[in-house]
Structure 1
Amino acid sequence: MSNKLVLIDGNSIIYRAFFALPLLNNDKGVYTNAVYGFTTMLLRILEEEKPTHMLVAFDAGKTTFRHETYKEYKGGRQKTPPELSEQFPLVKELLDAFQIKHYELPQYEADDIIGTLSKEGNNENWDVTVISGDKDMLQLVSDKVTVSVTKKGISEVEKYTPAYLKEKLEITPEQIIDLKALMGDSSDNIPGVPGVGEKTAIKLLKQYPTLEEVYEHVEEVSGKKLKENLTNYKDDAFMSKDLVTINRQSPIEITLDDIDYNGYEQNQVTNLFKDLGFASLLNKISGTEESPVIEDKEMDPIDFEIVSEVKEEMFAKENALVVELIEENYHTAPIIGFGVVNEKNQIFIPTDIAISSPVFKKWAEDSAKKKAVFDAKKTVVALLRNGIEIKGIHFDMFLASYLLNPSENNHDIPAIGNRAGYTDVLFDEEVYGKGAKMKVPEEAILAEHVVRKTKALHVLMEEMTEQLKQNEQYELLTELEMPLALILGEMEHQGVLVDKASLEEMGIDLKERLDKLVNEIYELAGEEFNINSPKQLGPILFETLGLPVIKKTKTGYSTAADVLEQLEHEHEIISKILLYRQLGKLQSTYIEGLLKVVDPKTSKVHTRFNQALTQTGRLSSVDPNLQNIPIRLEEGRKIRRAFVPSEKDWVMFAADYSQIELRVLAHIANDEKLVEAFNNDMDIHTRTAMDVFHVEKEEVTSNMRRQAKAVNFGIVYGISDYGLSQNLGITRKEAKQFIERYFDSYPGVKDYMEDIVHTAKQQGFVTTLMNRRRYLPEITSRNFNRRSFAERTAMNTPIQGSAADIIKQAMIDLNEKLEQEKLQARILLQVHDELILEAPKSELDKLIEIVPAIMEKTVKLNVPLKVDYEYGASWFDAK
């Protein structure tokens, strides 16, 4: 088999990938768009080219031997955005996983490495393919060397052979150097000859094949200005020729034998794809992943009893209790058994025996009888559904594990046990199976599994409690998270009433609007087609209507939202398609989606709050996700109209914290101007605009305030000049100046950001005001990308996490006050910085008095907390 050599210009392809794709983050917040684009191209190259030898070449640094000739070489280039520079180490990690060699050489560019190796491959009569986004590489084309130049980002390449080059540009590969010498290259700051573009240069080279010959015949050149420029800028032309000439004899220390390619290990690439969040690329990798084999565990035998009658002597002063459910939605899942373990007994109580037993109910509802549980919220909801109001919970293994290991995804009892070296318990899927094969086993097997889980809880509780105390987090568990879990359990059980008729009516209205939009789109397109099909929409937009092509995919034209937004000013059909998509999502996800999860018996939705999911401590919700109801679109806001009080003559009451994260920032950073602004009740975005633009209050324009707002909310999350320029539609230079002026105005914020990163590097974690920890193992990583993300996280977590803790504490304080005042009002939902209650109209005056007061004094900061409130007949009216 003949040798096939593929050489890739790493810098060029990564740059093109970055600017071709929108900024993407994986679940760790690491930017991955350039890596993703590079990876898709790499997979295509491996499939199409089937290389036997391969190398990705990189530039070694900013200074090269060319700078000795011309100090201004590449001088006009903007600084690489940090969102891009962070991705270079990841690309190299990716290449290592694929077992593809990469190389860089000090003082030389990737072009020189590729030029040298392509020459060697050519001399050996190998088939060589060079891949780059740079047309300078066309000088390498020969009978054995094909240069593939990327176009339209990286989704397509144009393959140049000597014949194609002649057909396309009417010159030979050798003349590419002379072409570039004459016309220059603004991207590399190569001067060339002023007034000579590609057409003029090609015309000259067709008459006089080299630069030298052009100058030998310069007096014969037609056109006075052209002749004058050629004469005056002769030195620049010859210097430019030196600069654009690829050094094909670079002193590289690798040979063709060093860059052989024998394929990659499936698992290495798969693991990296999972880490990067490239789920869509996993199925493109050849081969199949083997299912993990669960080995039989050797466990110590366990004595336990399956009880047929519940007796008081089965319980001790302190007990571990597990309420076993195997379906994810515990609002509907049946309890399949109870485990109780204490110093005297290890028992399994079948569900019907426990639920029907007055002894069990009395014990469960006795607050003096201590119970350690796994997932207090789930336990509360499951038992409330069966008429039992559990009291006396003093430890929650689930929440304790979350606080100790916030970055872990699995907080099941066996996973917690394994992390602690306790292995006498099986994973649920080993007992129940998973997916369609999931089933409850016979009682003896079920009972042993539930008792083993309960024993693990009983055994590990003391060790976990000690760890929490060492971390100064025991109060965070017992005074914040556990009391909150009980409140959330009550809220979930209570649910929120949904006016189904109102939702259905909105659905009808939306359908009428969508039907009208469809007809308008068809009329503008001149034909009917499937608007939801990119394969049909693409040709309509880019062929029938002739709109400019922004991006292509493997299957055709890209019609993604970011592409359409760029085309909005080109044709009125675009805004209608975007609106059609927005309304369509509202219809399917929120109208139809909400109707599906309404309990047919109560007409309520019982959302589940995730209390142990985010590393910042923020709550999220599922089934339905009430935090994602779109509020920017009027039609989205109207969906909140369907959420109504569950009793007659009651109202919805909403109270939300105003700019809580910025107030927390002012407190933590203790910046004099920020603190002063909040203490004087100034509009913080106006204040920032005044400080940054050096204007008086009355001179602040709406655009100034908008820009100040973007910086206020972005700066603490490590926003860069590139990120800010994208957000505001300004140049990077303007964005950089803006950020510098911000830090000049608020030096306390700058000091905080530097100090918190330093602290994180020293101790390996950051904390919130209430001692919630977020561990940052990658804060000292040698990988620039991972380290940079950890630094941004260090800045952000104390602010976002403290805000989350404050809202949680407010819920506890408010719930206690409502009970103390013997009010019927109750908290229904927590959405971001907002609490939603329902209450009788007769209690409104009392709520107006106590809700903002309680929420504003939940914690004492050196700036005031501020709460806004509204009320009305629905959640919509309370905003």
Structure 2
Amino acid sequence: MKKKIFLLDAYALIYRSHYAFINRPITNSKGQITSAVFGFVKTLQELIKAEKPTHLAVAFDPAGLTFRSDIYPPYKAQRPATPEDIKWAVPVIKSILKAYNIPVVQVSGFEADDVIGTLAKRFADNDAEVFMYTPDKDYIQLVSDNIYLYKPKKSGNEAEVLGVTEVCEQFGLSSPIKFIDILALWGDVSDNIPGAKGIGEKTATKLIAEFGSAEEVIANAGTLKGKIQDIVTSHADSILLSKTLATIDLNVPIALELDSLVLQPANNQELIMLFEELEFRSMLKDLSQTPVPKLVPAGVPTQGDLFDTGLFASTSSYKTIADFSKKYQLVDNENNLMLFLDKLKYVNAFCFDTETTSLDVFNCSLVGIAFSWEVNHGYFVYLPKESVVRERWMKELSLFLTSPKILKIGQNLKFDIMVLAQNGISVAGPLFDTMIAHYLLDPESRHGMDLLSERYLNYKPIGITDLIGSKGVSQLNMSQVSPERVSEYACEDADVTWQLYEIFKREIEDKQLTKLFYDIELPLVSVLAEMEMAGVRVDISSLEAYGIVLNGQLIDLDNDIKRLAGLPDLNISSPKQLGYVLFDILKLGDGSDSVKKTKSKQYSTSEEVLQKMIGQHEIVGKILDFRSLKKLLSSYIESIPQLINSKTGLIHSNFNQAVTSTGRLSSNNPNLQNIPVRGERGREIRKAFIPINTESVLLSADYSQIELRIMAHLSGDQGLIDAFIAGEDIHTATAAKIFGMPLSEVTRDMRSKAKTANFGIIYGISSFGLSQRLNIGRAEAKALIDGYFNSYPGVKSYMENVVAKARETGFVDTIFGRRRYLPGIGSNNQMMRGLAERNAINAPIQGSAADIIKIAMIAIQKEIKGSDLVSKMIMQVHDELVFNVLESELDVVRPMVTSCMQDAVALSVPLIVESGIGNTWLDAH
């Protein structure tokens, strides 16, 4: 008969038991909460009875940090402190396990899953089956022949046992070990594994099923569609880091033989003493087979009573979250409104959250507003539909929402501000946005309220789909849901956000982010709201005409590629077919790293691979051009007309403040940052952006070489500083230094090489990277870089110092204190370490540039409003601001914009702004 080995994940089961009774905790006469101990022991007893294991051990996480925290300091750092009840329970449980003669396994520096993984792989064979008893999904990667994931039973169901077949069918994987790659992309909120922000479980599963591994997804990023391509490309280092963090270590040093796990008879006398101390009457009864009187106070449920009602079985995992003790009130009549307003007038800070019929701020209806200013309390003002009464209620609420003295708290406040603006209320006063706060605290993570609630409050809020249903024709909107249900949902959102505010305001202070948060990021929320509401006019006829031209070019490219391939039926968008053409038919590549294959034996045709083959065959350049053109058509020419708001006739791009890890703003619908800067195609798209009316023009104001100026300031290199102060062309000046000649003798080619070096150094470029970019030999590229550092020794010192500081602290920061955490800086993986070092050099520069333009935007918006100008700021793209300016105001606005941008911060070199005006964005740029 096969050995049946059970390995238990202690803390997963202890937490599960703790939260099973969170609303009705089990206590003894001493006042001790014994829920976690009782639940764990009951689970153990039921397991032994039902499964009859031959061998059994329990693995505990050690005290202190593990090796994953060394790799990535934020790993699990977001988790709240262990509840005192669990701290008390752990040594008690270990004593009980000792009485059961069950081994406790705990290894310093390694988590329980590493211990269980090591033992499972060591002991599983044809004569022994290993069952890993845990609700934790991370263990899926360990499932293999004779190793199973044994998940605790849920209400009304038997325990779930997952083998290789079940895992592969459930996740569409070729092997359970591929679940590591899913986690690399998906991340893990509970463990603070970042993953790729924007990729969920379904997308991650689909990508791994297609490409085979996280590395191959990254390698093939160029073949991905839409925003997934951008997400994978921008999160490559995070994905690789997440894979390392998610991989269970199978080489934990444990001197443990299988014979020591044989299940032995329990020491009943020890158990009786422990159970008497704990007052576990039902368990004592089972041990002694004699009735034991119940000594708990009347009305308090006993352990046996709780289990008889099936409450324990209803808890699926230690991540199950307990319900709040909610005190939420629906305000839907005059009397309740007056009572609510009487309470509101005594508070100096409140959280609010709008509920609307859609996310389109210009066309949605406002259903109501939720408020909270006390933990577990909330009020939902359900607005009347009758216009006169509704207007009066809104007027009453506006007294508080527009008060300059009351702190307004929210999650993604920009949306609420814009919704209320459409309803005649201009939110004023100090703000606190929990989404933005968390973005500063942990820029690599996701910042949605539900995720933050689970992470920081151990609470899972009501999901929106639970309220209105999934997407599709059957989905409701908020006005179609009963007021009572909307009230519970909305009050909970406000309540959760209030509680997050109380946590984040302390962390912002602790991490010295107050100036960045309160002086830059929070004021920017209102600026972005006004910029988005201003909107941009687009000449659709211009786009459509250019679309005809581009479609003609696309057809020509399609025909050319098929002709060169010799395959008239070739699907150019198919990586499989394209790989066959390039590598099997045309025999391209150099036989080494240019010919990459995915795990599914499919050739890689990513942009990176194709770029290396430019020059080998005419077809390569045409394929790259085909892809670029197709993306341009889908992202802009075809999509922009669909984005015009039916109410305003304008496009209102969404400017995202909490997406990029560097602090830069991003945008979507459409993505303005990705419009090509150079070349005819980008210019033609810019030509379609026009002023709001015939009385206006567009003004474009752009920082000149701001990142190089910041490098000069941060590095303190006197050569760079002198060149900027003297007003020299920095690329010509650099070329003169590198090549050792007067400025007047610098050729265009020399200047071009120096320019590439200037900007490449900011991104930590290597000699190999520079040689690729300039199409020169590595020796020449190395000589260029050496010449650069000899010319600007302060830059070299800065780069060395900033990388050293990052290794010491785990992060780098900008001039204004914005942090970029670099978990891979100490990695043994050369690629991961190299990425982190390049980010260490670039992040302070790029982040400081982002902060500077934000400061300028705040100052400009203040001047525009203070001067009662009609002109508006309408776009921010990289280092450029675009304005719709009334021609009669141009003489005021242009110098004011220039002044605010140049005076945003005092550096050791001047900030220079170049501006232009025109009847299109192209003309102004």
Per the TM superposition, whether the score is higher than 0.5 is: yes
Q: Does 1:770 align with 2:816?
A: yes
Mapped partners of 2:619, 2:524: distance in 1: 50
1:530-589: CA deviations, max 9, x gaps?
A: 563557777888899898897586788776656666676576666555544443333232
Q: Which entry has the higher C-alpha Rg, 1 or 2?
A: 1
Letter in 2 for 1:372: I
Where 1:372 maps in the other structure, the secondary structure is: strand
**2:654 and 2:668 in contact (8 A); partners too:** yes
Q: Does residue 346 of structure 2 align to residue 322 of structure 1?
A: no
Cα displacement string for residues 440-493 of structure 1 (whole angstroms, at most 9, x for unaligned residues): 664333322321221233334344223222322222222111111101001111
Distance 2:601 2:431 in 1: 58
Q: Which TM-score applies when normalising by structure 1?
A: 0.64
The letter of the residue matching 1:322 is D
Note if 1:699 corresponds to 2:730. Answer: no
**Cross-structure match for 1:621:** 667
In the alignment, is the contact (CA less than 8 A) between 1:422 and 1:456 conserved in 2? Answer: no
C-alpha distance after superposition, 1:784-803 (max 9, x if no partner): 44443333222211111100
CA positional deviation for 1:339: 1.2
Quick one: distance in 2 between partners of 1:471 and 1:540? 54
- Give the aligned partner of residue 165 of structure 1: none
Q: Could you say which residue in structure 2 is the equivalent of 1:796? A: 842
**Unpaired segments of 5 or more residues in structure 2?**
1-71, 73-113, 123-173, 188-194, 197-203, 214-245, 247-315
User: What is the CA-CA distance between 1:511 and the residue it aligns to?
Assistant: 3.2
Q: Which of these residues, 458, 470, 483, is aligned with residue 523 of structure 2?
A: 483
1:353-374 Cα distance to aligned partner (Å, 9 max, x none): 6964221234323334432222
Q: Is the aligned partner of 1:417 residue 2:453?
A: yes
- Greater displacement, 563-572 / 418-427: 563-572
Deviation of 1:674 (Å) = 0.6
Q: Deviations over 1:244-282 (max 9, x none)?
A: xxxxxxxxxxxxxxxxxx976454454346578787334
Matching of residue 302 in structure 1 with residue 353 in structure 2: no
CA distance in 1, matches of 2:455, 2:603: 48
Partner-residue secondary structure (3-state), 1:407: coil
Q: Deviations over 1:361-408 (max 9, x none)?
A: 343233344322222211111222333222224322221121122222
> Could you tell me which residue of structure 2 aligns to residue 751 of structure 1?
797
Q: Aligned in 2, Cα 1:823/1:390: closer, same or farther, shift over 3 Å?
A: same
Contact 1:778/1:786 (<8 A) preserved: yes
8 Å contact kept, 1:341–1:455: yes
Deviations 1:847-872 (A, max 9, x none): 33222122111100000001000110
Deviation at 1:830, TM superposition (A): 0.3
Match of 1:779 among 825, 839, 864: 825
Question: Where does residue 664 of structure 1 map in the other structure?
Answer: 710
Mapped to 2, the partners of 1:746 and 1:804 lie a distance apart of 24
1:347 and 2:362 aligned: no
Q: Which residue of 1 aligns with 2:724?
A: 678
2:408 is aligned with 1:408? no
3-state SS in 2 of match to 1:627? helix
Distance 2:609 2:442 in 1: 40
Query: What SS does the corresponding residue of 1:824 show, helix, strand or coil?
Result: coil
> Hey, what does 1:388 align to over in structure 2?
425
Deviations 1:70-98 (A, max 9, x none): xxxxxxxxxxxxxxxxxxxxxxx9xx99x
Greater shift in the superposed pair: 565-574 or 450-459:
565-574
Distance 1:558 1:474 in 2: 46
1:495 CA displacement: 1.0
Q: How many residue pairs align between the two structures?
A: 622
Structure 2 distance, partners of 1:784, 1:332, is 51
C-alpha distance in 2 between matches for 1:568 and 1:420: 50
Report if the CA contact (8 A) 1:373-1:397 is conserved: yes
SS at match of 1:348: strand
Aligned-residue identity in percent: 37
Over 3 Å counting, the alpha-carbon distance change for 1:100 and 1:567 in structure 2 is farther
Query: Over residues 499-522 of structure 1, what are the superposed CA-to-partner deviations in whole Å (9 max), with x where a residue is unaligned?
Result: 122222222333344455566667
**Structure-2 change in CA distance of 1:336 and 1:792 (3 Å):** farther
Write out per-residue CA displacement over residues 831-859 of structure 1, whole angstroms, 9 at most, x where no aligned residue. 00000001111222223322212211110
Pair 335,766 (structure 1): closer, same or farther in 2 beyond 3 Å = farther
1:201 alignment counterpart: none
Q: 1:791 to 1:576 in 2, by over 3 A?
A: closer
Give, in whole Å, the separation in 1 of the partners of 2:827 and 2:433.
34
Return the offset for 1:625: 0.5
Say which of 365, 369, 372 aligns to 1:338: 369
- Structure 2 residue matching 1:383: 3-state secondary structure: helix
Q: Which residue of 1 aligns with 2:342?
A: 313
1:271 to 169, 177, 183: 183
1:734 equivalent to 2:661? Answer no
Does the CA-based 8 Å contact 1:320-1:342 persist in structure 2? yes
User: How far apart in 1 are the matches of 2:805 and 2:796?
Assistant: 14
1:864 aligns with 2:791: no
Q: What secondary structure sits across from 1:371 in the alignment?
A: strand
- What letter is aligned with 2:542? S
Q: Distance in 2 between the 1:418 and 1:512 partners?
A: 51
- Where do residues 189-204 of structure 1 align in structure 2 (5 Å cutoff)? none
Rounded to whole Å, the distance in 2 between the matches of 1:493 and 1:833 is 21
The letter for the 2-side match of 1:860 is A
Counterpart Cα distance in 2 of 1:775 and 1:543? 43
- Equivalent residues in 2 for 1:241-640, closer than 5 Å: 265-272=177-184, 280-283=207-210, 297-308=321-332, 309=334, 310-311=337-338, 312-316=341-345, 317-318=347-348, 319-324=350-355, 335-342=366-373, 346-352=378-384, 356=391, 357=393, 358-412=395-449, 414-421=450-457, 423=459, 425-426=461-462, 428=464, 435=471, 442-515=482-555, 528-529=568-569, 532-534=572-574, 551=595, 578-640=624-686
Q: Provide the C-alpha distance between the structure 2 equivalents of 1:758 and 1:711, rounded to a whole number of angstroms.
A: 23
Q: What's the secondary structure of 2:702's corresponding residue?
A: strand
What CA distance in whole angstroms lies between the structure 2 residues aligned with 1:536 and 1:457? 50
Tell me by how many angstroms 1:635 deviates: 2.3
Instruction: Report the alpha carbon displacement of residue 726 of structure 1 after superposing the two structures with TM.
Output: 1.4
Separation in structure 2 between the aligned mates of residue 744 and residue 820 of structure 1, nearest angstrom: 49
Cα distance per residue 1:132-160 (max 9 Å; x no partner): xxxxxxxxxxxxxxxxxxxxxxxxxxxxx
Say which is worse superposed, 349-358 or 836-845, in terms of deviation: 349-358
C-alpha separation in 2, matches of 1:559 and 1:781: 29
Paired residue secondary structure (2:443): coil
In 1: Cα distance, 2:615 partner to 2:550 partner: 25
User: Would the aligned equivalents of 1:761 and 1:779 in 2 still touch at CA under 8 Å?
Assistant: yes
* Structure 1 residue identity aligned to 2:510: Q
C-alpha deviations, 1:632-681, integer Å up to 9, x for none?
23022111111111122200000000110110110011111010011011
State the match for 2:199 in structure 1: none
What SS does structure 1 have at the residue aligned with 2:672? coil
Q: Secondary structure at the match of 2:719?
A: helix
Quick one: distance in 2 between partners of 1:314 and 1:727? 65
Letter in 2 for 1:666: A
Q: Which amino acid aligns with 1:323?
A: T
TM (norm. structure 2) is 0.61
Structure 2 CA distance for aligned equivalents of residues 793 and 572 of structure 1 = 35
On the 8 A contact 1:496/1:644 being kept in 2, the answer is yes
Stretch of structure 1 that moved more, 817-826 or 342-351 = 342-351
Separation in 2 of the partners of 1:477 and 1:566?
43
Tell me how far apart the structure 1 counterparts of residues 718 and 378 of structure 2 sit (CA, whole Å): 60
Query: In structure 2, what is the Cα distance between the partners aligned to 1:527 and 1:768?
Result: 53
Q: Is the 8 A contact 1:355 1:361 kept in 2?
A: no
Please state whether the residue corresponding to 2:881 is helix, strand or coil.
strand
Contact persistence 1:829–1:837 (CA under 8 A): yes
Q: How large is the Cα RMSD of the aligned pairs?
A: 3.8
Cα distance in structure 2, aligned partners of 1:665 and 1:825: 34
Counterpart AA for 2:506: E
Is the Cα–Cα contact under 8 Å of residues 373 and 393 in structure 1 kept in the other structure?
no
- Compared CA separation, residues 555 and 789, structure 1 to 2 (3 A): closer
Query: 1:580–1:726: structure 2 CA closer, same or farther, 3 Å change rule?
Result: closer
Q: Tell me, yes or no, if the aligned pair for 1:617 and 1:801 is still in contact at 8 Å.
A: yes
Q: Is this contact kept in 1: 2:562–2:570, CA < 8 A?
A: no
